[in-house]
Amino acid sequence: MKTTTLFLSALLLAVPLAIVTTADDDYEKREMYQKYQPMNNTSGRLDDDTKAEDRYKREKSNRCGAYGNRSMRALQKHEALFRNECGSCHMAYQPEFLPKRSWKKMMATLEDHFKTDATMDPEDHKKIEAFLIANASDSGTPNSRREAYREISRSIPPGSTPLSISKTYKFKKEHREIPIRLIRQKEVKSIANCAACHRKAEQGYYGERDLIIPNYGRWDD
């Protein structure tokens, strides 16, 4: 009798708790699930991006290994939070593009974030800042993503603290030939809308293979 009641009460305790936790972590789990799905490869062959993706994942798990399992989970959770918070109004730009000082300034000026209020809960603020700084262009060990964005991050002079990737020298140079009408058109709106043309920008790939400008087509240099 006693054991049955104990068991019952344990069950009753556990069930509502489980409901609450799943509801809370729902988006985080989904994000992670999406993130670690292999990318769609329509051509059926292993292209450069897929190789690059594999390499980046390997490096990421190596890096996490150095931190231990607990910090790895924490870091991944922060990534989900970063994608959810920053990605609700614009693409969640890869932190590897800009140096630590840029991300610090960004997080200190969220009240006027590109003329929008982007303030957040202090706890989330701390976590996102930690995530951005840990993944900035000038922190951590070199990896393929930092390597891929190196030309942009290295074109930032030591004395400047850009808040826009699009204000860097290399970015401007790469985009200077694109007619303004193609940028201002309603399908794109602004040069900051990477994913409008770079179809794999969200996943971190900006190669010409996946570059299609709306109402224009492929862009060849």
Region binding another protein by CB under 8 A among candidate stretches 3-11, 38-46, 158-166, 203-211 = 3-11
Stretch in the footprint of another protein (CB under 8 A) among 37-45, 89-97, 153-161, 168-176: 89-97
Angle at 196 between CA 185 and CA 162, to 5 degrees: 95
Per CB under 8 A, 143 contacts another protein: no
Interatomic CA distance for residues 198 and 204, integer angstroms: 9
- In order of 8, 141, 144, 212, the CA distances from 60 in angstroms are 43, 10, 10, 29
Q: What are phi and psi of 212, to 5 degrees?
A: -130, 115
Measured CA to CA in angstroms, residue 178 lies from 121, 149, 172, 196, 202 at distances of 39, 20, 10, 14, 21
Question: Taking the complex as a whole, how short is the minimal distance between the CB of residue 3 and another protein, in angstroms?
Answer: 11
Please identify which residue in 22, 62, 116, 215 interacts with another protein, judged by CB under 8 A: 116
Least distance in angstroms from the C-beta of 126 to another protein: 15
Of 32 and 92, CB closest to another protein: 92
Binding flag, residue 9, another protein (CB under 8 A): yes
Contact between 18 and another protein (CB under 8 A)?
A: no
Q: Judged by CB, which is closer to another protein: 11, or 66?
A: 11
Helices (H) and strands (E) in the chain, counts: 9, 2
Nearer to another protein, 9 or 61 (CB): 9
- Residue 213 touches another protein, criterion: CB under 8 A: no
Q: Taking CB under 8 A as the rule, does residue 5 contact another protein?
A: yes
- Residue 108 found at the interface with another protein (CB under 8 A): no
Map residue 113 onto helix, strand or coil: strand
Which residue lies nearer to another protein by CB, 15 or 46? 15
Secondary element (H or E) of residue 213:
strand 212-213
Comparison of 143 and 164: residue with beta carbon closer to another protein: 164
Strand 212-213 to 217-218 pairing? antiparallel
Work out which of 138, 193, 202, 203 binds another protein, going by CB under 8 A.
193
